[in-house]
């Protein structure tokens, strides 16, 4: 099993995205870079991942982590070239991935922040839902110490 929100996990999700014909077809309009900041995670680390798509193909990704609180990452300005940046605590990200929390509940919460092109996000909703589904299919351990 893979530890959730580690480099190994990102690699596993990316390979699923690349292998899924259904995703590539549904995600034809998925373009641009998506940034996720996950705070207060295992190993006492914050994390940041970036995922870049070209016509539904995940062409680039990054994973970085640093000891909590990773001030440079937490205070970094939003880059308007991104599609979106979301920020939330690790526990909330884990609840979302487990299906214990609905996306609406996360979005309504003061602990979850989304910046970026919201209208475009809505237009990409079908692809984003499939991305979440594929990510949730990776078998993971949530309670771990890796970063």
Binding positions for another protein, rule: CB under 8 A: 80, 102, 104-105, 107-111, 116-120, 122-123, 125-126, 129
Cβ closest to another protein, residue 1 vs residue 110? 110
- Comparison of 21 and 104: residue with beta carbon closer to another protein: 104
Contact (CB, 8 A) for 91 and 38: no
Shortest distance, position 7 Cβ to another protein, whole Å: 30
Cis bond leading into 133, ω under 30°? no
User: CA 33 to CA 50: how far, in whole Å?
Assistant: 7
Q: Using the minimum distance from each CB to another protein, give the nearer residue, 56 or 116.
A: 116
Cβ 141 to another protein shortest distance, Å: 27
Task: Report CA-CA distances (Å) from 35 to 1, 80, 116, 121, 127.
Answer: 25, 12, 10, 13, 16
Nearer to another protein, 29 or 54 (CB): 29
Residues near 106 by beta carbon (within 8 Å), at least 6 away in sequence: 88, 92, 95, 96, 112
CB of 51 to another protein, least distance (A): 19
For the CB of residue 86, give the shortest distance to another protein in the complex, in Å: 13
Rg (CA), the chain: 14
């Amino acid at each position: 099993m893979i530890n959730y929100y580690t480099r190994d996990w990102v690699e596993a999700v990316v390979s699923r995205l690349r292998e899924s014909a259904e995703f590539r077809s549904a995600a034809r309009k998925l373009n641009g870079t998506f940034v996720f900041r996950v705070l207060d995670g295992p190993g006492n680390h914050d994390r940041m991942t970036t995922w870049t798509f070209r016509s539904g193909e995940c062409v680039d990704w990054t994973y970085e982590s640093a000891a909590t609180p990773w001030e440079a990452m937490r205070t970094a300005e939003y880059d308007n070239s991104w599609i979106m940046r979301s920020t939330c605590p690790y526990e909330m990200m884990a609840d979302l991935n487990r299906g214990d929390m609905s996306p609406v509940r996360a979005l309504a919460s003061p602990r979850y922040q989304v910046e970026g092109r919201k209208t475009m996000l809505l237009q990409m909703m079908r692809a984003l839902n499939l991305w979440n589904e594929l990510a949730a299919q990776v078998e993971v351990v949530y309670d771990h110490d890796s970063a």
